[in-house]
Amino acid sequence: MREDLDIIYFKQRLEERQQELFQAQESQQKEGAPKELDQTRVGRLSRMDAMQQQAMSQAAGRLAAAELQRIKTALQRLEDDEYGYCLICEEEIAEKRLHFDPSLLTCIICAEEAEER
């Protein structure tokens, strides 16, 4: 376990963000599925706008699901005393990087190398 990190702080931040994402998902589900538009009464631009809104909502849902998975993995790594170490090279992840996003699982070098691929 990394002694230089405030593990309680990072765990709290991860859990708070997880709750925010769960609440956002719940409110999105309460709003219900996208409404079907009566094609004979609604103009083409309204239909295109509705389709765009639906696509944006689906994309946001996918991003939230990916972030939730990263948070789950980070929380598990906290429990396993592996938090703060890169999943790829196993070197320490910079504390400033973790302050930016506590769910990050790779160091900056491995993240940059992954982007180049």
pLDDT digits (tens, 9 = 90+) for 17-75: 999 999 988 887 776 555 555 555 556 667 777 778 888 888 888 999 999 999 999 99
Taking alpha carbons only, the member of 90, 33, 28 closest to residue 65 is: 28
Per-residue model confidence (pLDDT) at position 30: 72
Residue 102 forms part of a structural domain: yes
Assess whether pLDDT exceeds 80 at residue 1.
Answer: no
Residue 2 forms part of a structural domain: no
Domain that holds residue 83: 7-116
Helix (H, G, I), strand (E, B) or coil at 85: strand
Beta bridge mates, 49: none
Residue 89 forms part of a structural domain: yes
Distance CA 78, CA 83 (A): 5
Residue 40 CB burial class (10 angstroms; 0-12, 13-18, ≥19): exposed
Residue 53 forms part of a structural domain: yes
- Check if the beta carbon of residue 78 is closer than 8 Å to that of residue 10: yes
**Choice among 3-7, 33-37, 104-108 with the minimum mean pLDDT:** 33-37
Q: What is the CATH number of the domain that holds 82?
A: 1.20.120.910
Q: How confident is the model at residue 95 (pLDDT cuts 50, 70, 90)?
A: very high
- Number of domains observed in the structure of the chain: 1
Residue 1 forms part of a structural domain: no
